[in-house]
Amino acid sequence: MSLIAPTAVVAEDEAALRGELVEQLGRLWPELSIVGEAADGLEALRLLDRHQPDILFLDIEMPGATGIDVARQVGGRAHIVFVTAYDQYAIAAFDQGAVDYLLKPLAGARLFTAISRLKARLGQAPAALGGVLDQLGSRPAAAAPSAARAPLRWINASVGQTLRLITVDEVMFFQSDNKYTRLALKDGEALIRKPLKELIDELDAQQFWQIHRSTLVNVNAIASVSRDFRGRMQIKLKHGSEMLLVAESCAHLFRQM
């Protein structure tokens, strides 16, 4: 196992989240070489045998073979970071020997902490996880759904070549922009790969309203609502000159404003 150029495999069945994790690892740990990406547990096992990576980022819930199944096959050959939406299970794994855990949606500061711990442990033998894997494997089938998690509070976004941590309160609106989502801020804009449909589920619905199929607006950033000469409803923001079009199907949101 090389301390100079460590290697990793990322196993996550959600393509957008897998891409986001790989991108963030590239920014926060450029020395790390991602030697393989897997969309299911069986592919993760094949990549493990083929590349013998130093680190495995394993989603606990994957088709084919779960992250727990894959971890059982690792046999101390790699350090493991679990990726999960269910923090009670990940925290149990971390406390009993797993290198670390990442919760969905990914948080840049949390990933930075995990990277720091991985760097410190790369010179050591990977932890034995037999007991904790038994515990994870016997968890209740009806785990709390991700929708019950606290609303998203901050986001990792690209501003040029820089990864910036942005609180959702700073965002005036989110807007779909091809394969990215654009964040409009008081001091500029940023881009993320997370699609708008995922943000709708993760943000506080009381704070962010969908006013168009491509736009979510922060209600705290709204200065006024009016209609243009065609009768279309539009929003003026407290900062900036951009006007946001409101779809007729969403006009009811503003009737009591």
Residue 11: pLDDT band by 50, 70, 90 thresholds?
very high
Most confident stretch, 15-19, 67-71, 100-104 = 15-19
58-99 pLDDT tens trace? 998 888 788 888 888 887 889 999 888 766 655 665 655 566
According to the model, what pLDDT value does residue 92 have? Answer: 61
According to the model, what pLDDT value does residue 143 have? Answer: 43
> What does pTM read for this prediction?
0.54
How far from 243 is each of 124, 164, 169, 232, 240, CA to CA, in Å? 56, 25, 19, 12, 9
Residue 224 burial (C-beta neighbours within 10 Å; 0-12, 13-18, 19+) = exposed
According to the model, what pLDDT value does residue 132 have? Answer: 62
| Residue-averaged pLDDT of the chain | 84
Q: How many helices (H) and strands (E) does the chain have?
A: 7, 15
244-253 pLDDT tens trace? 999 988 888 8
For residue 96, what are the contacts with CB-CB under 8 A and spacing of at least 6? 129, 131, 132, 135
According to the model, what pLDDT value does residue 251 have? Answer: 84
According to the model, what pLDDT value does residue 103 have? Answer: 83
Residue 38: pLDDT band by 50, 70, 90 thresholds?
very high
- Under 8 Å between Cβ of 100 and 117: yes
- Under 8 Å between Cβ of 217 and 173: yes
130-183 pLDDT tens trace? 666 766 665 544 344 443 456 888 888 888 877 788 889 999 999 998 788 999
* Res 234 pLDDT > 90: yes
* Res 24 pLDDT > 70: yes
According to the model, what pLDDT value does residue 146 have? Answer: 41
